[in-house]
Amino acid sequence: MGKLRSLALNPPSRWHFQWRDAVILLLVILTCASYWTSIPAFAPKIGSDDLFTNANSALQQDDGAEHGTNVTIAPEGTKDGNIMDSLINAVDVMQSNYFQVWAGLWPTAIDWTSAVIATHIAAAMSTVSSSTNYAIQPGPGDYALLQKPESLINRFMSHLIGFYFGQDALTLRSEAYDDMLWVVLGWLESIKFVDSHSTELLYAQGLPSWYGEEWVPGFAHRARIFWDLASGGWDASACGGGMVWSPYLQPYKNAITNELFITASIAMYLHFPGDDNTSPFRAREASGPSRVPIGKKDPKFLDAAIVAYEWLASSNMRNSKGLFIDGFHISHNRHEHAGGRHKECNIRNEMVYTYNQGVVLSGQRGLWEATGSREYLEDGHTLISSVINATGFNLASQTVHTSASPTNSSLPRLGTWHGLGRHGILEEACDAHGTCSQDAQTFKGIFFHHFAQFCQPLPAYVVKPGETVDIPSLERLKAWHVRKCGG
């Protein structure tokens, strides 16, 4: 999926290990696995001031991706490397080998997976930014020192800007509702990255505004347009509500579209900065984007997320292991109901995918931030426990189920399948057979991205307006959340 280049980049001397660091590394490596073993090692110069050495030379050669080199960094003082080195190199490999700078896209990606990869790039750069010490005291050489990680961040920010123009936004406007919602999440993640990086950089150094801020209005407008378009998929005529997957096929209410709508809606409430651009690409239609300017914290987004979550929670879209199935087809049963035909979601597609267990997690986290209701976090932790158990790892006994598959299994030597893996390893059903499509190859990265967002330490406040915070209760909740996420 994309194309760009990689050179030796030494990590800053101060990294803070976070869930986000480890997990975003995993999701990017999952996408880049076929290239990982071919990357040679490089030993950086020893010294605490060696911050992203050679990042500027990487920038100078950026557009020549096709004849670039990929270099793995072995951090000083460690044998096996560290998380941040691997994260930076994994992102660099992704962009060096898959991203076309001149076209602003990943040529081998399809529309929705492109949006997902852009989301991962923005999230990874947020981690790099938050892990860099911008508060160094000015002194001889310090400004140049600061520019090394900044060059890296600016390099990948330029790729996100390129993708803003390379993304096939017009075609996506006529695709399925889940495709549209990946677009919303992608540009909101870029907005979060810009906001967090601007805060880290400007407050610490008192510098003028960062150029990335100029792109927030464009990112916000695209997120708004696609949320408006996707919201047309809410269908109260069957099954009591819920999003349909596509406007062009027989009605199908599936987990991923509804989870995306929950997560995108609450993310719009929390992170959308407002939009006064009143000129969508086409005239207003019944299900098209609104021309009315919209501000921050619009309650319609919060209301949509709450209603959609309540519908999903009561939809019976889980199996006996507590995992979300793929979705429901709709039967048409004639009863003596007022209003004629009664439509019921009762034809289940029992297939289970990893990303169906992941996307809702950041929605649950966001709903807690917006409402302060502990129920959302409890639901998320219950789902995570179900996923872990479905890999064959027993949380109660802290043991891995290792028995062999039945002799009539097509893969008897791999061990018993537990619903989402075996031997404590998360899998798609297609992994062992080697038959995964590009869609399925992307699923586990999506799961870990949203798992990382869910398991970040809770903030010192919640967004719910008009209420005071019970500090002792919040502190207990934060400690509980950390314990649960830490296993």
Contacts of 272 (CB under 8 A, 6+ apart): 188, 191, 220, 223, 224, 296, 298, 301
DSSP 53: T
- Percentage helix, strand, coil, to 5, in the chain? 50, 10, 45
pLDDT for res 185:
99
Q: What is the DSSP letter of 388?
A: H
Residue of 86, 92, 111, 116 lying closest to 3 (CA atoms)? 92
Tokens representing 476 are 């207990």
Answer yes or no: is 309 within a domain. yes
Q: Is residue 378 part of a domain?
A: yes
pLDDT at 287 (0 to 100): 52
* pLDDT attached to residue 173: 95
Which ranges of 42-141 does DSSP label H, i.e. alpha helix? 55-60, 83-98, 111-130
Q: How far apart (Å, rounded) are the C-alpha atoms in residues 217 and 191?
A: 9
pLDDT at 345: 86
What whole-number distance in Å separates Cα of residue 154 and Cα of residue 215? Answer: 13
Residue 435 lies in a domain: yes
What is the greatest pairwise CA distance in the chain? 83
Range of the domain at 155: 109-485
Look at residue 333 and tell me if it is in a domain.
Answer: yes
Give me the phi and psi of 330, to 5 degrees please.
-115, 125
φ and ψ at 99, to 5 degrees? Answer: -95, 135
Q: Measure the CA–CA gap between 211 and 134, rounded to whole angstroms.
A: 17
Are 428 and 444 in contact by the 8 Å Cβ rule? The answer is yes
In a domain, 126, yes or no: yes
6 inside domain: no
Query: Which residues sit opposite 363 in a β-bridge?
Result: none
Number of domains in the chain: 1
Provide the edge-to-edge strand list for the sheet that holds 342-349.
252-254, 327-333, 342-349
pLDDT tens per residue, range 176-185: 999 999 999 9
Q: Is residue 36 part of a domain?
A: no
pTM of the model: 0.80
pLDDT of residue 406: 60
Task: Pick out the chain residues at pLDDT < 50.
Answer: 1-26, 28-81, 136-138, 141-145, 283-284, 333-340
pLDDT at res. 5: 34
Q: In whole angstroms, what is the distance from residue 481 CA to residue 484 CA? A: 5
pLDDT tens digit string along 141-159? 444 445 567 888 999 999 9
Query: What was the pLDDT predicted at 133?
Result: 65
363 lies in a domain?
Answer: yes
Check which CATH number belongs to the domain holding 197 and give it. 1.50.10.20
